[in-house]
Structure 1
Amino acid sequence: MKKKTKEFRPCKIPRYLVGSVSPHVLKTDLAEYNAHRYKIFTAKTKTDTKPPKMNPFNYVNVRKLRADAERLRIIDKENKQILKAINTVNRTIGRVDSYNPQAYACKSKWNAHVLTMKKIEHKNRAIYHKIMAASSSYDCETLRNSWLGIIKKLKMSSKFPLVILQKTSADVTFSKEPSISGGLEKFSERPICFLEFQVVDGVNLGRMEIELYHDHVPVTVQNFLSICCGDNKKKLTYKKCPIHRIVPGRFLETGDITKGTGKGGTSIYGKHFAEEGHKLKHAKAGVLSMVRVHKHNNNSRFCITFANMESLDKQNVVFGHIIRGIDNLFKIEGYGRRIGKPLAPIIISKCGKLNSVPES
């Protein structure tokens, strides 16, 4: 039977959507597409049936073939010997007639091993007797009596409290430091307020009593004292205000009663008020001064120095200094870091005004 030849059937459906191109483009594209299909349909394959030229000796190593044949011959011979031995075992039902003289050779070394162990035991016993016969060069009884005496003294001294006499407080020491007023005349009695600091949900850091120089910077002192007491129309207060910056060896900053970050603050006079004079100096530790806001303005933010800070004399307006509780200031300094952010959150737990007059 003759094979049926396939007929070429041109495609009648255009490849473009109807209406997307003009009829002329539609017809031309369909004709080119059918011509391409016809070329593929009528293409004939070309096959090269000639064998490649090759030399079998280039692919076959005669020396290796001979070596393999010799090895196969030897293996075949060994297999015949194994089969012969297996046949012998089967016929004699596994008879054993061999003896290995090396099988029990280790028993001949046991006596030598026992003798060696006895020598080691003899040496160990000699070392043991030497250790037991040794005596200490120290007088044990004297050491024991000395230790008992020390224990008796410790028990006796523990009955009495250790009192350090003539201890000078830090407040007295810092009161002898140079005055922040530099010898300026005292025009009136100066009010005294207090600030108590505490670690949030933690230890109480103590109270600091502050003398305010109302006779030299009345506007600044009135703003600070009013916020400290909380007796202003806006109900502003320093209570629960955080310390947002502590720089060891320099100062701490607080008083931001609006944001608590050092970027806020306000005053009883408005958002801020103008600076007063710079007569008072940062002459020692424990000096309070306002933190400058914008250009020559202040609000509620202030700082307390940990040392003499002459570099702040022309920047911050000084309005007071600590007269009691300077030790507590240095406790707060211990929470400081070089970057300024405290190691733990610290707030002003209590604040207000005192009626007592500072000691001379």
Structure 2
Amino acid sequence: MIKPSALCATLILAASATTAMADNPKVAMDVSIDGEPAGTITLELFADIAPKTAENFRAICTGEKGDGLDYADSPFHRIIPGFMVQGGDITNGNGTGGKSIYGERFEDENFALDFTGPGQLAMANAGPNTNGSQFFITVEATPWLNGRHVVFGEVIDGMPVLRAIEDQGTRSGRPKSPVVMTDCRQL
């Protein structure tokens, strides 16, 4: 028999988890492959776990800060099958640039989440505390990245689109065809 106090605690925890999930922002990213619409990836941003990182991504998605801080029409410049798809270089488009809403770079917020499977959204970086606008989405579990990249979201719809992007990848990471985020918006 379940004790009333244990039942109450379970219900409160479940309600808290649902509320936190409901409060996390969601964004949609429209993608084209070789100039043709490929579909939309919907992401939940874990503002409850990594608020600064999630806000950086959300604000660049909407373009609300101006100053070129917008993912619209930026490419996925690095795609490695069985690993990840990377984009978000909003300054150079080739993986050598990017900037954040906080300035050029910002610190690693935390490493609270591990890389346990496909569809995890994380910041790309050039070493500790070098986050800008570049991000990647895993296509498999990547545990060797734990403690090196901040996981701050996940794909909640559009995994077939992610797989279509992955299909454009090569071992070198250079896409076979142009893959572009044609639009990005908050839902």
TM range (shorter): 0.7 to 0.9
Please report the RMSD computed on the Cα atoms of aligned residues, expressed in angstroms. 1.6
Mapped pair 1:190 → 2:32: no
Shift of 1:235: 4.5
Question: Which structure has the larger Rg over C-alpha atoms?
Answer: 1
Aligned match of 1:284 in 107, 113, 117?
117
Q: Which runs of 5+ in 1 are unaligned?
A: 1-184, 355-360
Shift of 1:295: 2.9
- The answer to whether the Cα contact below 8 Å between 1:293 and 1:299 also exists between their aligned partners in 2 is no
Secondary structure of the residue aligned to 1:252 is: strand
1:223 matched to which residue of 2?
A: 56
Q: Structure 1 or 2: larger helix share? A: 1
How far apart are the structure 2 equivalents of 1:309 and 1:239?
27
How far apart are the structure 1 equivalents of 2:126 and 2:132?
7
How far apart are the structure 1 equivalents of 2:161 and 2:85?
13
Q: Which runs of 5+ in 2 are unaligned?
A: 1-15
How far apart are the structure 1 equivalents of 2:94 and 2:142?
23
Mapped pair 1:351 → 2:174: no
Tell me which amino acid in the other structure corresponds to 1:351. C
Tell me which amino acid in the other structure corresponds to 2:39. G
Shift of 1:233: 4.4
May I ask how many residue pairs the two structures share in their alignment? 170
- The answer to whether the Cα contact below 8 Å between 1:197 and 1:204 also exists between their aligned partners in 2 is yes
- The answer to whether the Cα contact below 8 Å between 1:251 and 1:306 also exists between their aligned partners in 2 is yes
Identity of aligned residues (%): 36
Does 1 or 2 have the higher relative contact order (CA < 8 Å, sep 6+)?
2
Q: What pairs up with 1:313-324 in 2 under 5 angstroms?
A: 313-324=146-157
- The answer to whether the Cα contact below 8 Å between 2:24 and 2:47 also exists between their aligned partners in 1 is yes
Q: TM-score, normalised to structure 2's length?
A: 0.86
Q: TM-score, normalised to structure 1's length?
A: 0.46
1:206 matched to which residue of 2?
A: 39
Output one character per residue of 1:59-118: Cα deviation in whole Å (capped at 9) or x when no partner.
xxxxxxxxxxxxxxxxxxxxxxxxxxxxxxxxxxxxxxxxxxxxxxxxxxxxxxxxxxxx
Shift of 1:266: 0.3
1:302 matched to which residue of 2?
A: 135
Output one character per residue of 1:148-187: Cα deviation in whole Å (capped at 9) or x when no partner.
xxxxxxxxxxxxxxxxxxxxxxxxxxxxxxxxxxxxx747
- The answer to whether the Cα contact below 8 Å between 1:282 and 1:313 also exists between their aligned partners in 2 is yes
